[in-house]
Amino acid sequence: MTASRYRYRYVGPEELRALARPGRGGRALRGPEDLREAEAGEVFTYVVDLDGVMRLAPRRSEHVVCAGGEPVLGAGEISFRPAGTGSWAVAEVGNLSTGYCPDLASWSAVATALDRAGIRRPDGFTEPVVFRWCPGCGQAQVVRDAHFVCVFCDADLPPEWNGGLTGSQ
């Protein structure tokens, strides 16, 4: 199974999930025409929905709202820059979403969504974030500087990603 086939479930606070409305997520990015010149450099919240379409919302939006409350193939933040007449490229892209905590392997789904939309992209996340769940206290963690130790209980964190999946499509 490839990483792009994993679905990440929402693991954040329930009060934020309650804000989501099915069918009313972020706007679809299906092609360069879906971006506007005024949005150059603007940072967006994004998700890759279960159909493989990237959806965008303003940066301060919750990922679960952008996803309409649904599981996703990827989530994070992204910005774009013009790349010639009518074309766009990714300026920066990461997987920072504490609501979904996607693994770095979610890049495959992000890359596929950008390729389908005809947006130039880097070869990987420009702003990668490593998430782990602590086996000791169950808290989600952002691993910094390859220090795989829980900030809450000092337990060792696993080297492999360990949570948030709902299985394959």
Side-by-side strand order, sheet with 74-82:
27-29, 54-58, 43-48, 74-82, 88-93
Residues in the chain: 169
Q: d(Cα 141, Cα 139) in Å, to the nearest integer? A: 6
The answer to whether residues 158 and 109 belong to one domain is no
The answer to whether residues 8 and 26 belong to one domain is yes
The answer to whether residues 116 and 136 belong to one domain is no
What would the pLDDT profile of 68-95 be if each residue is shown by its tens digit? 999 999 999 999 999 988 899 999 999 9
Global confidence as pTM = 0.91
Beta bridge partners of 44: 58, 78
Range of the domain at 158: 129-163
- Number of domains present in the structure of the chain: 2
Q: How confident is the model at residue 1 (pLDDT cuts 50, 70, 90)?
A: very low
Residue 158 lies in a domain: yes
The answer to whether residues 57 and 139 belong to one domain is no
What would the pLDDT profile of 86-130 be if each residue is shown by its tens digit? 899 999 999 999 999 999 999 999 999 999 999 999 999 999 999
Residue 67 lies in a domain: yes
Residue 22 lies in a domain: yes
Residue 43 lies in a domain: yes
The answer to whether residues 68 and 142 belong to one domain is no
The answer to whether residues 61 and 139 belong to one domain is no
Residue 168 lies in a domain: no
The answer to whether residues 82 and 133 belong to one domain is no
The answer to whether residues 114 and 156 belong to one domain is no
Residue 120 lies in a domain: yes
